[in-house]
A and B are shown apart, each in its own frame.
Chain A
């Protein structure tokens, strides 16, 4: 398709790419600008700039508690998802387990099945177990939802990794765990880290399961945002949204750097 005189097509393609870039970026840029607004409502362009909404955010216990809860969920659930997902990916790709492809597909189900179904199901089961409104309940839900991302990232990295490296370590007398720790893990580290990053971001952003399973006392940021976003909206919500965006963007940039370092292709 290159250099075949399809000037019209290339112009169209360029226009669509430009418009899509604006379409995907503009909303986020506008939220960041509004978060620094001096006005008391969501006005664009803002009449003046101030940090009052960030001050507001960090002085309001409803928001600071929510940030604390989100972090208390995020750290254990991302760590658990990374460990469970990496172990499962290694077993699925290297283990020659009968039915590995079916098990692999089943492990992806939590991100295929609509979140509303998972949320309703967990809420229903948790009622009998007293897990609704607890950190444990939220962490379990988030591990279920984020493990598939780690399994997918790590297994695709493992597939491109030469199995003979591990075989060589084994032949030279390394026990399996040592071979993994000294040979496989360092080579997989970028993929494991990118799985960990995505799991952390996905946990922080997760709304629907959290909405069902949380309570007024244990309420993560996404749920706090949800309960505010539809009522009286002031730019405090733009401030927290900008922080979420900054967190996600930092993670995405870090992940892109990791990927470039390993020289793996996109996706």
Chain B
């Protein structure tokens, strides 16, 4: 009761002490009404998301028999560790590519002319709005053996014969990065908007060369944005299913594919649960690291 009193006093100070009781009742009424508004979404989350996901994860410890056998298998059978390693390595590779490409784009989006800024926001939002499947399919056409990219490379005399651009790491990266770019561009753009231009002016006035000022003053100030974007890219890549299946080769099998195989081919819910738990644990760990360095408030925006 005391907490609702406090909130009421804060919002409607004019009620004062004379009408304290009525105000408290109204505050409780308001919380009740809000709870009612919130209830359907929360109920759906519990019944159709948290419940089922909890059930899936618990399979790891209950099927085929209670205990930790699934995790022992995971550790001992080489196939699983290889897939796990692939997944982390592919995510770790996509992240710096996205940051390096995303940084200049975010910079232009922050400091360019209004027209350029609007255009870039539009361009970078396209992957957000267009189907992942459509984009990946388009990339397959573009990069296939007798596709336009190979035709261009041969036409320009850069290569004598068609290069293998898909069903390998090159294809996977080409497909993954274009989908992931918005995740790094927007946090970087937000970080750049918060940087006071006076810092750079000060560095330049105090005699730092433009390169030195950029490296020592500007770049460190964008670091929260870089880390946020990199984390988002990394954890999104961890769960990738469509892109490795269409653009990667057998050596780029990732964990999501293995989870699907466990269920669809072997009906092995225990192993599917164990792999899911591992995938969530790695994502959670990376988010925790981000929280410890930058603070999750910066991410939530």
Count A interface residues, CB 8 Å. Answer: 90
**With A and B bound together, what is the CA distance between A6 and B208 in angstroms?**
13
Q: Which residues of B contact A267 (CB under 8 A)?
A: 186, 190, 301
Query: Does A266 sit within 8 A of B, measured CB to CB?
Result: yes
Contact of B104 among A17, A90, A92 (CB under 8 A): A17
In the complex the two chains form, is A31's CB within 8 Å of B38's CB?
A: no
A residues in contact with B71, CB < 8 Å: none
- When chains A and B are docked, how far (Å) is the Cα of A83 from the Cα of B39? 12
- Whether the Cβ atoms of B210 and A4 lie closer than 8 Å is yes
Q: Which residues of B contact A71 (CB under 8 A)?
A: none
Please tell me which stretch of B74-82, B118-126, B158-166 contacts chain A, meaning at least 4 of its Cβ atoms lie within 8 angstroms of it: B118-126
Docked-complex contact A109 and B178, CB < 8 angstroms: no
B141 CB to nearest chain A CB (Å): 5
Taking CB atoms, residues of chain A closer than 8 Å to B200 are 1, 4
In angstroms, Cα B101 to Cα A198, docked, is 26
Q: Contacts A116-B241, A252-B129: A103 and B38 contacting too (C-beta < 8 A)?
A: yes
* Interface mask (B169-196 → A, CB under 8 Å = 1, otherwise 0): 0000000001001000010011000000
Q: Are B53 and A176 in contact (CB under 8 A)?
A: no
Contacts known (A26-B142, A115-B239, A230-B246); A97 close to B38, Cβ less than 8 A:
yes
Chain A residues lying within 8 Å of B283, measured Cβ to Cβ, are 112, 114
One of A6, A42, A120, A222 near B276 (C-beta < 8 A): A120
A62: Cβ under 8 A from any B Cβ = no
Contact B30 A147 (CB under 8 A): no
- Any B CB within 8 A of the CB of A237: yes
Contact A17 B108 (CB under 8 A): yes
**Smallest CB–CB gap between A91 and chain B, Å?**
4
Rounded to whole angstroms, the CA-CA distance of A260 and B300 in the bound complex is: 23
Q: A116 touching B135 by the CB < 8 A rule?
A: no
Q: Name A17's contact: one of B120, B132, B276 (CB within 8 Å).
A: B120
Rounded to whole angstroms, the CA-CA distance of A177 and B127 in the bound complex is 38
Please judge, given known A-B contacts A24-B127, A28-B138, whether A110 and B241 are in contact too, CB under 8 Å: no
In the complex, are the beta carbons of A30 and B41 less than 8 A apart? no
- Are B133 and A252 within 8 A (Cβ)? no
A151 to B33 CA separation, bound complex (whole angstroms): 18
A207 and B133 contact, Cβ closer than 8 Å, known pairs A6-B214, A44-B141: yes
Q: Which residues 219-262 in A have Cβ within 8 Å of B in the complex?
A: 222, 225-226, 229-230, 237-238, 241, 244-245, 248-249, 251-252, 256
Decide if A95 touches B101 in the complex (CB within 8 Å): no
In the complex, the answer to whether A91 meets B35 with C-beta atoms within 8 Å is yes
Within the complex, the shortest CB–CB distance from B189 to chain A, in Å, comes to 8
Known contacts: A20-B181, A91-B38, A117-B276. The answer to whether A141 contacts B132 by CB under 8 A is no
Establish whether residues B56 and A27, one from each chain, have CB atoms under 8 Å apart when the complex forms: no
- Chain A nearest CB from B144 CB (Å) reads 8
Interface pair B259/A117, CB less than 8 Å apart? yes
In the bound assembly, the distance between CA atoms of A201 and B31 in angstroms comes to 33
Are B137 and A107 closer than 8 Å at their CB atoms? no
Over the window 260-301 of chain B, the binary record of Cβ atoms lying under 8 Å from chain A Cβ atoms (1 yes, 0 no) is 100100000100100010011001000000000000000011
Q: Which residues of B contact A222 (CB under 8 A)?
A: 131, 133
CA distance A120 to B148 in the complex (A): 37
Note all chain A residues with C-beta closer than 8 A to B53: 113, 117-118, 121
B154 adjacent to chain A (CB < 8 Å): no
- Smallest Cβ-Cβ distance to A235: which chain B residue: B141
A31–B235 CA distance with the chains assembled, in angstroms: 29
Query: A238–B105 Cα gap in the complex (Å)?
Result: 30
Binary contact readout A210-225 vs B (1 if CB under 8 angstroms, 0 otherwise): 0010000000001001
Q: Is A160 part of the contact surface with B, judged by Cβ < 8 Å?
A: no
Contact B137 A225 (CB under 8 A): yes
Residues of B within 8 A of A198 (CB): 129
- Asked whether A123 and B263 contact (CB < 8 A) given A27-B142, A114-B239, A252-B122, the answer is yes
Write out the residue numbers on chain B whose beta carbons fall within 8 Å of the beta carbon of A105: 300
| Chain A residue, CB-CB nearest to B131 | A205
Instruction: Scan B24-65; emit 1 where CB is below 8 A from any A CB, else 0.
Output: 000100110111011011101100111111011001000000
Q: What is the distance, in angstroms, from A255's C-beta to the closest C-beta of chain B?
A: 8
**Cβ-defined partner of A110 (8 Å) among B11, B49, B146, B301:** B49
By the criterion CB–CB under 8 Å, are B111 and A109 in contact? no
| 19 A-B interface contacts by CB (under 8 A) | A2-B111, A6-B211, A20-B181, A24-B181, A25-B123, A27-B141, A28-B130, A30-B148, A31-B137, A88-B37, A106-B50, A114-B239, A118-B53, A122-B48, A124-B269, A144-B49, A208-B242, A225-B133, A226-B133
Known A-B contacts: A114-B283, A124-B52. Give 11 more (CB < 8 A).
A5-B210, A26-B142, A84-B40, A109-B50, A124-B269, A144-B44, A225-B133, A230-B245, A241-B134, A248-B129, A252-B122
